[in-house]
Structure 1
Amino acid sequence: MRIMIKTARALVAAVALAASAPAFAAGKDVVIERQQWSFAGPFGQFDQAQLQRGFKVYREVCASCHGLNLLSFRNLAQPGGPGFTEDQAKAIAAEYTVTDGPNADGDMFERPAILADRFPSPFPNEQAARAANGGAYPPDFSLIAKARAAKRGFPWFVFDPFTQYAELGPDYLYALLTGYEENVPEGVVINPGQYYNPKFLSGNAIGMAPPLSDDIVEYTDGTPQTVDQYARDISAFLMWAAEPKLEERKELGFRVMVFLLVFASLLYFTKQKIWRNVAH
């Protein structure tokens, strides 16, 4: 019994250590610090105010280069999202122009976007995007919070299913946006048109200029207008964009676990009743 108790305590301590440990980038010396997010854990939920601020940062800073091709305007008003009303989402959609058609004459035409439309790309094609960005291709932001993430090495990833640690993407995005440095260490070569960012997992040189600066976006709710806050808000918004059904998924998962627990208990007590008079 004492051995079992000691083993249980060791497992609890190991899980607690894993929960507080930083996220490490695989194969590199870059350390991506773990951040606190409202949507973390099995019962985490998105902060609607933060999502609205993050969307504002996206529209005013990121949308000129990065699209959200897999996100529809109607998602802005759906449960578990930024919490915009349907009228607000329609107003936002009307600010965008999309290509539709063909019309009766067989021609394509442009019209204001509606809720059913997806966010249009800022460029007509990849070649135009590269030409406008010095040869670099700005990635689409629809799944960036899932596609760009630090990798946790052994043994940390073993504990992630128990700690429900699934925020590697937002952690990395926040680290990247706040990781620009003006002083380049000796021995590090940064080519013209590139910027030094030690948090960039594909190397220290990144083609994107620092996108955020203090007071670049005006908040009306009294939230600090700092690079740190902007980075947190846009990272949370991009996590929602990558997984808009996150809250619904967690709620369903909780219901399934409760059902399985009750079902297992019923099976156990049924077995005990049926076989209680049978010698084993």
Structure 2
Amino acid sequence: MKVLINKVKNLIKLLSILALITFATTHSNSAESAKLLKTDWSFKGLFGKFDRGALQRGYQVYTEVCASCHSMKYVSYRNLGEKGGPEFTEAEVKAIAASFEVTDGPNADGEMFVRPAKLSDKFVMPYENVKAAQAANGGAYPPDMSVLVKARGGGVDYIYSLLQGYEDAPSGMTLDEGVHYNKYMYGNKIMMSAPLSDDILEYGDGTKATVEQMSKDVTTFLMWAAEPHLESRHQMGFKAIIYLIILTILVYFSMKKIWSRVESEV
């Protein structure tokens, strides 16, 4: 019986620790992004799922606007068709990959050659190396976007806000040449000019391409790139919670039955 009591105590401690961690994380994130813009993210919460339309539109924004400067070196073209992601059809993914060229080799003659990208290839890099990227961007290196939402405080809310935070600098603030004012950027100074403007592209599904809509779509896409297994993780977490609830109920009734015998003997 002592062993069972100890197990119950350990289970209660574990549940308490998990609750405290969840509360602390939620509180920390809310405090950190309190001044950021908020929107309704479909993937938030225990039952959150990615909006397939938003993911596909977000990929379009990345390709047509962001990919000229920002790489996504940890994402492969085949990922675009996998379950839980944008879920393009196989034909669409093959067409997307084939529209890019990659350098491969050496061939039988010892020479490098250019070929259409395959499903297994990573997203094509916009620059050959870091130095080339810095030279093309005034000395600043455009960060890789594969896990960008995880590398910035505020996560998706920060990226979403940053894309909409470009304004004229307040009076009295001097900006160097090539530097822009963004009210959500750390220090309010950013080398990247405003990448989005209304109707800068045309969505294939007819959605109006406003700055707000494009910001939300591309941020959703970046969230998926950083956490491609988010939906399966949510499902696993829900199953784990159900298991713990059932286990707690069983332990409770077991303890109740054991203690009822002890009381009757007394």
Band of TM-score, shorter chain? 0.7 to 0.9
Instruction: For 1:256 and 1:104, locate their aligned partners in 2 and report how far apart those are by CA, in whole Å.
Output: 54
Contact 1:146 1:242 in 2 (8 A): yes
Q: How does 1:258-277 map to 2 (within 5 A)?
A: 258-277=242-261
Offset of residue 269 of structure 1: 2.4
- Per-residue CA deviation, residues 194-241 of structure 1 (Å, 9 max, x unaligned), is 11111101x121100110011101013232221111111111111111
User: Cα distance, 1:101 vs. partner?
Assistant: 2.7
- 1:246 is aligned to 2:230: yes
Distance (whole Å) between structure 1 residues aligned to residue 181 and residue 249 of structure 2: 57
The CA distance in 1 between the partners of 2:84 and 2:50, in whole Å, is 7
The answer to whether residue 159 in structure 2 is matched with residue 173 in structure 1 is yes
Check if 1:119 corresponds to 2:102. no
Superposed CA deviations along residues 87-123 of structure 1, whole A, max 9, x for unmatched, are 2111111111222233333333322111111112110
Structure 1 Cα separation of the partners of residues 114 and 31 of structure 2: 45
Provide the C-alpha distance between the structure 2 equivalents of 1:108 and 1:251, rounded to a whole number of angstroms.
45
Indicate the SS of the match to 2:240: helix
Superposition CA RMSD, Å: 2.1
SS in 2 for 1:114: coil
Aligned pair count reads 239
Gap regions ≥5 residues in structure 1: 1-14, 151-168
**Higher alpha-carbon Rg:** 2
Q: Does 1:232 align with 2:197?
A: no
For residues 193 and 213 of structure 2, the distance between their equivalents in structure 1, rounded to whole angstroms, comes to 18
Give the Cα separation in 2 of the matches to 1:55 and 1:23.
Answer: 30
Taking the aligned partners of 1:277 and 1:255, their CA distance within structure 2 comes to 33
TM-score normalised by structure 1 residue count: 0.79
1:22–1:33 CA contact under 8 A, matched in 2: no
Q: Distance in 2 between matches of 1:99 and 1:254?
A: 44
Question: For the residues of structure 1 that align with 2:119 and 2:136, how far apart are their CA atoms?
Answer: 29
Contact 1:101 1:109 in 2 (8 A): yes
Query: Contact conserved, 2:32 with 2:153, CA < 8 A, in 1?
Result: no
Q: Once the 2 structures are TM-superposed, how far is the Cα of residue 274 of structure 1 from its aligned partner?
A: 4.3
Cα pair 1:213 1:226 within 8 Å, conserved: yes
Amino acid at match of 1:264: T
> Do structure 1's residue 219 and structure 2's residue 203 form an aligned pair?
yes
Q: Please state how far the C-alpha of 1:275 moved relative to its aligned partner.
A: 4.7
Q: Secondary structure at the match of 1:111?
A: strand
For residue 13 of structure 2, what is the aligned residue in structure 1? none
Contact in 1 for aligned 2:149/2:156 (Cα 8 Å): yes
In structure 2, do the counterparts of structure 1 residues 85 and 274 end up closer, same or farther at CA, with 3 Å as the change threshold?
same
Cα distance, 1:264 vs structure 2? 2.3
Q: Residue 113 of structure 2 aligns with which residue?
A: 109
Percent of aligned pairs sharing the same letter: 53
Compute the TM-score of the two structures, normalised by the length of structure 2. 0.83
The equivalent residue for 1:256 is 240
1:273–1:23 distance in 2 versus 1, CA, 3 Å: closer
Partner Cα distance (1:204, 1:33) in 2: 15
Question: 3-state SS of the aligned residue for 2:133?
Answer: helix
Specify every segment of 5 or more residues in structure 2 that has no aligned partner in the other structure, as ranges: 1-22
Determine if contact 1:23/1:33 at 8 Å carries over to the other structure: no
Tell me the equivalent position of 2:148: 144
Amino acid at match of 2:74: L
Contact kept, 8 Å, 2:37 with 2:160, in 1: the verdict is: no
Report the Cα distance in structure 1 between the residues aligned to 2:79 and 2:233, rounded to whole angstroms: 16
Among 177, 196, 221, the residue aligned to 1:192: 177
Q: 1:206 aligns with which of 190, 204, 209?
A: 190
Distance apart, 1:22 and its partner CA: 5.9
Q: Distance in 1 between matches of 2:206 and 2:106?
A: 47
- Is this contact kept in 2: 1:22–1:34, CA < 8 A? no
* Cα distance in structure 2, aligned partners of 1:148 and 1:225: 25
Q: In the aligned structure 1, how far is the partner of 2:70 from the partner of 2:102? A: 16
